[in-house]
Amino acid sequence: MLLTGGSALLAGIGLLAVAVLAGFVWWLVRYDLGTGHADVGGTAVPAEATATATTEHTSSTAPETTGSGEYVFDSATAPDVGTDCAAVSYGDVRDWLAEHPCDRVVRGLYETSADGARALVSVVVVTMPDERGAAELRALTDTTGAGNVSDMVRDGSAGIDDAPQVAGGEYASDVTGTDVTIVEAAFFDGHRNSTELADVADEALLLATELRGS
């Protein structure tokens, strides 16, 4: 059947529209298959980013440790604990403590080895009612010839037959708050090394922490 001029024009337009639509559909198919892009519905996260986000970072701190220092101190007697400091003191220190009573006194004896010899160490911790009293007591015990709080060898309570007189050896002291620590040390059997013994006395000040818990 022959188409009139108007009908032929309409038919041509229809065929052109079908061709354009088919081409558009083909382009969409090629775009999806060629690029591999997924439909938009969420945000894709690269594998590298996911791995980084899920990695847990931890920090470690080395456990605190308390070193034993250069010397090892072994308790030689049980600590002596009391509240009458004047009763276990002598000289000007005794007179001062009679007028300024302490709250507590703990006395201990320790043995250690230094310079290839045995050493005996007296550690005394006096607790005063206030820091001012502690500072005054320490200043007095540091004074030569003013007396001191008796070590357990001096007053005979140690019970160690061959114990040296630590009061005639090396001396060290410290004050922490209301606590005064007094250390005296001497070698057994007449051994002499004042430098080494002074180091022993200084390190023995750390034993005050142990004595406070007695």
The string of pLDDT tens digits covering residues 48-67 is: 433 333 333 222 232 222 23
Report yes or no: 86 and 111 within 8 Å, Cβ to Cβ: no
Token digits for 96?
Answer: 């001062």
Q: Residue 28 domain-assigned?
A: no
Residue 19 confidence (pLDDT) above 80: no
Q: Residue 130 domain-assigned?
A: yes
For the ranges 3-12, 21-30, 53-62, 205-214, the lowest mean pLDDT is seen at 53-62
DSSP alpha helices (H): ranges in the chain?
5-35, 47-54, 91-99, 131-141, 194-204, 208-212
What are the distances in angstroms from CA 29 to CA 20, 22, 37, 119? 14, 11, 12, 95
Q: Residue 17 domain-assigned?
A: no
Distance of CA 181 to the CA centre of its chain: 22
Q: Residue 2 domain-assigned?
A: no
Number of domain units in the chain? 1
Residue 33 confidence (pLDDT) above 70: no
Q: Residue 115 domain-assigned?
A: yes
pLDDT band at 74 (very low <50, low <70, confident <90, very high): very high
The parent domain of residue 208 ranges over 74-212
**Which pLDDT belongs to residue 180?**
99
Q: Residue 165 domain-assigned?
A: yes
Q: Residue 129 domain-assigned?
A: yes
Q: Residue 116 domain-assigned?
A: yes
Residue 179 confidence (pLDDT) above 60: yes
Helix (H, G, I), strand (E, B) or coil at 9: helix
Ramachandran quadrant class, 115 (left: phi over 0; alpha: psi -120 to 50; beta: rest):
left
Ramachandran quadrant class, 14 (left: phi over 0; alpha: psi -120 to 50; beta: rest):
alpha
pTM of the model: 0.68
Cα–Cα dist 80/72, whole Å: 21
